[in-house]
Structure 1
């Protein structure tokens, strides 16, 4: 029965060697062996496989590190059976019986008793000359432990310390590569060297990139500068990248080199090739060549170069992290500036009416004081804008501005939100939570709808307003805060005090300074300015090319009573911008509501709600026209503009209805 060997070598891949009856197969590091073992732990002539009367057997040739057969050291000749694995260093040789597979993927075969895992002659010679491999440097471990076994460790450690400081000051990947190369050349006494890194170093951080290929590398630093990187066999670089090991090769080679006017001289040539790692994977190579009559590269030099490469890898990672952080900081700064501009736009008080100017003047006088402010006005008039303006104009403007709507929560939840709670204070309180008062420390707390606050919380709230500490819900620790309170309401607090729903002492404590914000219908001069402000804002946000309003749309907005105040105007403009298909917003795109004025203003129109009553279209038109005239005080010109008809048409309709 025929037999063959399946060789698995991490350096050159898999190969098949057919065993020929009567022939011996040699294994070892020397290139003359039938199976060349590319591992520095292998001896030059390591083991031999031969045929006996009982079958094929293996013998260890008194190798330095021994030979393993199925995990056990070989003491004497061992008979091979199908499935046995011979291990020499990292190279595995599987003994198989039968016919070898036909062209298996990644496997080459030969039937002449010679392994065909061939490579270029220079690479074969380089692999055969490798004497030491390392995956990490002991110089970066405990110095005290290595000092006795690693020569020159003090000098090496000092050089690494100097290099670490220099790398920390470098500004880019080429600078750190140059520093690392200079340090490696000086420490080893190399004749020349090069650092190879990817062209785009940022690609090193890609999570999906497992292994970089030699073709993607280019020179990041070289010494001497004219030295051609092409002089390095690409196989050397590929081997270092694939094995992730530092290699010392050629220490025993003697070569003849030019010596200038003195002719030629014989020197020893050796090389060190080490991986530069980033993110735990090799991404580059540092290659040194030593040509000298006095000394050659040693395992200690290999240790030092590995330490330099690891320091270089960390420096590259730090540079990339710094670049990413710098980019994120710039992006965050731009976003922060954009949000500040937007917040400034949103908190800007738009208008030129004398009423608004009086409010702004009052805010300027109040902001610089510590007085509690009560802001009163209908819903949607901009009470929060007034509170923010007070905060921005005070010496607390660098502190937080916290808003809280007292009507949005039940009495129990409101107490927890305002004063915080301890863990276990109630069902669902799984951890301590700070309240709005603590969140607004050294800043301003704006309490909207203060008139909706329950009587039980009013007493606790009053004590905090008077400067006393408070306790969180379910706690006993006294908490002291420094907060300015701006309260707001659309309710008649005087009536609430008279009805006993609001504490009298709290009312007087809040009403230190009172600012009345009028409804939008009482300052019609500001409607157009506000409308264009919202138009520009929403057009910019949506990307629509809306520029202006038609005259009819402007007249309708000026005539409208705006029961929702500025909030309604803002929403109305936003809706019109979103739905508009032209550069102008027309009357029909405003979609003004037919809601009556709220009872808090003391003015309203009859509700249209009620049971269905059969009505002709002519009658519905008459009622609508009359309601429009009533809403604008009987001005027929404005009414005609709102209705979208000519003044003469309106007169004819009115005359017809009078005749009926």
Structure 2
């Protein structure tokens, strides 16, 4: 009779051969009685879904979950004090037939059999049928049983006992003086003998056979996609190649730091030739293996009550055991644990050598799986960030405006984007040429490929060539590594060349060959490189004049000008200024966290009347500066700082003829006349004339060319 201060769950050891762990004056004893009609499995099973066919009951020994009992669909697992139960509780608080666990309607259920003291789960007393969830802890008196559908997700410790849920339970050596004696060790090894340099000189046949087994196992392990698949493959192989009756893999947490203790190890999978429970390897044996990183073979452990795993009838006496470390270069990852219960066919040194070799392969595979999982996690995070940035960029790329010129521009972009034609974008600085290029790319079939930008005016000739085409290591002084050029980076996507008119003639020639479909070579390289790139070029120069002056190749000009888009200056679409200003205000308010609701009417009028020589870029910078300096909830005139460059010049005096006289002239003639008078006024200083006229120098050049106005000869 168990005393009131003793509670017990028995699952495989007789009272004389019980694993003791003291806690709060209680000795937890575990006994499990197999029935004759139990399902015999030769397959590794460690399910992961809550309503799987298989499930497990883990028994608590006061310091850790010790025994594992497999539950089967179609079989009722009875629990109570009577010896006729499948799991026997040696606790006076338990009834003779206390409760039972069974599978019904796709769920594992617990039924209390009208017990005297009741059964509780999750702090609630069970009445009738109770649906179990993986991780539930069943309390019967002082006994604790854990229900789980996956050994990897089993609870760390019962609620209210050392090691609260989510924390590591205290090991037996930390709660009481250990009663374990040193096991009888027959062999130990840190390296498989048949993998040593002289192994092949023995029996070439055996040596080759062992390597063939390991090679085949390596292929199977390499095909495993998850840790569960990997451990299943290993246990099936060990069952096939050794005489083990029961095998298990125990792993430490991947986040754990420092050498693992026996209590840190978690059973992730086990295999048995009969439907028998798995009992954890003794802490003494585990501690020796973990500390010395050696595989150990122990024999005749049935007489050692700390290593024994047999029931009261002696039906599961373990005559030999192997414990092998799963070791990486940095740390011990866990253990492989084998039992033999056949006295006529015990585990031997050959099994020890093979198990250690498998453990070494398993360590490498676990490392690769961990690295792959880390890469997949990082890739998923990078994709998430990329999608977020794409979404944000897409919002910022929207062309804002409702004027006729913007509407026409959007329609033209849509038509051009769905083709693969090269595009030339003209327009003054700051009017959104790069934004137009990005819009073309995002609406094109190449939208998921790279969009690469380069400013041709920002680099000298040698640097621009290196940036565009790349270079090999040692190609020139300072080329310490190979560099991939922008053409290669943009392969399959779009390459945006800003200020393309600033290219030198030599680079234009090389650039033209790529546009014509020829391969190119990196600077200092000989390997031809072929790319598929769409070119979108932009310029604020008059390329026609540059062609006539010999500064830009005519054949390159025609290659680029397949489709042409002109971006209107902001002063020509003043009705869009309010929309743009409000959009920029919202953007910078969100970015800075300021509280600014909008503009006063006077402030908005100032923005409309300003000439914006820097176009949309200048407007954006002005609004950002305003948000930083504004101290009110509404932007006022005093909060806006504008450049003097945008002040409207005084209108030049135009000859209107004799008062009352009407001249029949076209707008083009009036414009030409006014331009010529302005040039004469400035002494044909085109830059100064363009400033007076309120246009870009390149625009003035195009108008002069259109009117066929040559520069007057000077003496």
Structure 2 length normalisation: TM-score? 0.55
1:148 aligns with 2:203: yes
- Corresponding residue for 1:378? 428
What runs of 5+ residues in structure 1 fail to find an aligned partner? 1-118, 607-660
Report the CA distance between 1:308 and its aligned residue. Answer: 3.2
- Corresponding residue for 1:328? 378
Report the CA distance between 1:587 and its aligned residue. Answer: 2.5
Report the CA distance between 1:249 and its aligned residue. Answer: 1.8
SS in 1 for 2:646: coil
Task: Summarize the Cα distance change of 1:379–1:318 in structure 2 as closer, same or farther, 3 Å threshold.
Answer: same
SS in 2 for 1:292: coil
- Corresponding residue for 2:646? 597
SS in 2 for 1:403: strand
1:237 aligns with 2:286: yes
Report the CA distance between 1:327 and its aligned residue. Answer: 0.8
- Corresponding residue for 1:135? 190
1:202 aligns with 2:254: yes
Deviations 1:164-204 (A, max 9, x none): 56545656545644554454355443344443322xx3225
Task: Summarize the Cα distance change of 1:133–1:363 in structure 2 as closer, same or farther, 3 Å threshold.
Answer: same
- Corresponding residue for 2:572? 522
1: CA distance, partners of 2:247 / 2:527: 68
- Corresponding residue for 1:355? 405
Task: Summarize the Cα distance change of 1:565–1:270 in structure 2 as closer, same or farther, 3 Å threshold.
Answer: same
- Equivalent in 294, 306, 317 of residue 367 of structure 2: 317
CA contact (8 A) 1:378 1:490 kept: yes
- Equivalent in 176, 184, 189 of residue 243 of structure 2: 189
SS in 1 for 2:644: coil
2: CA distance, partners of 1:253 / 1:289: 11
Task: Summarize the Cα distance change of 1:530–1:245 in structure 2 as closer, same or farther, 3 Å threshold.
Answer: same
SS in 2 for 1:404: strand
Report the CA distance between 1:462 and its aligned residue. Answer: 5.9
- Corresponding residue for 1:586? 635
1: CA distance, partners of 2:316 / 2:433: 93
CA contact (8 A) 2:589 2:595 kept: yes
- Corresponding residue for 2:439? 389
1:147-546 mapped onto 2 (5 Å cutoff): 148=203, 154=209, 164=218, 167-168=221-222, 172-173=226-227, 176-177=230-231, 180-181=234-235, 183-185=237-239, 187-198=241-252, 201-203=253-255, 209-222=257-270, 227=277, 229=279, 232-251=281-300, 269-368=319-418, 372-395=422-445, 397=447, 400-418=450-468, 427-428=477-478, 436=486, 440=490, 443-454=493-504, 483-493=533-543, 511=561, 513-542=563-592
SS in 2 for 1:530: helix
Report the CA distance between 1:303 and its aligned residue. Answer: 1.3
CA contact (8 A) 2:450 2:489 kept: yes
Report the CA distance between 1:551 and its aligned residue. Answer: 4.6
Deviations 1:9-49 (A, max 9, x none): xxxxxxxxxxxxxxxxxxxxxxxxxxxxxxxxxxxxxxxxx
Report the CA distance between 1:402 and its aligned residue. Answer: 3.6
2: CA distance, partners of 1:318 / 1:251: 37
Report the CA distance between 1:212 and its aligned residue. Answer: 1.4
- Corresponding residue for 1:123? 181
Structure 1 length normalisation: TM-score? 0.59
1:610-649 mapped onto 2 (5 Å cutoff): none
What runs of 5+ residues in structure 2 fail to find an aligned partner? 1-176, 652-715
2: CA distance, partners of 1:448 / 1:376: 10
Report the CA distance between 1:276 and its aligned residue. Answer: 1.9
SS in 2 for 1:526: helix
CA contact (8 A) 2:199 2:207 kept: no
- Corresponding residue for 2:51? none
CA contact (8 A) 1:258 1:265 kept: no
- Corresponding residue for 2:132? none
1:562 aligns with 2:608: no
Deviations 1:285-338 (A, max 9, x none): 233333433133211121122233234333432332232122112111112212
CA contact (8 A) 1:596 1:605 kept: no
Indicate the structure with greater helix content.
Answer: 1
Task: Summarize the Cα distance change of 1:358–1:138 in structure 2 as closer, same or farther, 3 Å threshold.
Answer: same
2: CA distance, partners of 1:423 / 1:307: 43
Report the CA distance between 1:132 and its aligned residue. Answer: 0.9
SS in 1 for 2:187: strand
Task: Summarize the Cα distance change of 1:504–1:604 in structure 2 as closer, same or farther, 3 Å threshold.
Answer: farther
Report the CA distance between 1:522 and its aligned residue. Answer: 1.7
CA contact (8 A) 1:552 1:586 kept: no
SS in 2 for 1:342: helix
2: CA distance, partners of 1:265 / 1:395: 71
Task: Summarize the Cα distance change of 1:163–1:497 in structure 2 as closer, same or farther, 3 Å threshold.
Answer: closer
CA contact (8 A) 1:123 1:235 kept: yes
Of 487-496 and 336-345, the range deviating more from structure 2: 487-496
Task: Summarize the Cα distance change of 1:281–1:547 in structure 2 as closer, same or farther, 3 Å threshold.
Answer: same
Aligned residues: 471
Report the CA distance between 1:378 and its aligned residue. Answer: 1.5
SS in 2 for 1:203: coil
Report the CA distance between 1:536 and its aligned residue. Answer: 3.9
CA contact (8 A) 1:276 1:284 kept: yes
SS in 2 for 1:285: strand
Task: Summarize the Cα distance change of 1:427–1:560 in structure 2 as closer, same or farther, 3 Å threshold.
Answer: same
Task: Summarize the Cα distance change of 1:203–1:149 in structure 2 as closer, same or farther, 3 Å threshold.
Answer: farther
Report the CA distance between 1:484 and its aligned residue. Answer: 4.5
2: CA distance, partners of 1:216 / 1:541: 47
CA contact (8 A) 1:270 1:290 kept: yes
Report the CA distance between 1:464 and its aligned residue. Answer: 6.1
SS in 1 for 2:367: helix
1: CA distance, partners of 2:565 / 2:213: 72
Deviations 1:229-272 (A, max 9, x none): 46x432211111001101112359879999999x7799782222
Task: Summarize the Cα distance change of 1:158–1:372 in structure 2 as closer, same or farther, 3 Å threshold.
Answer: closer
Of 288-297 and 367-376, the range deviating more from structure 2: 367-376
For the aligned residue pairs, the C-alpha RMSD in angstroms reads: 4.5
2: CA distance, partners of 1:316 / 1:179: 13
Deviations 1:47-86 (A, max 9, x none): xxxxxxxxxxxxxxxxxxxxxxxxxxxxxxxxxxxxxxxx
CA contact (8 A) 1:397 1:443 kept: yes
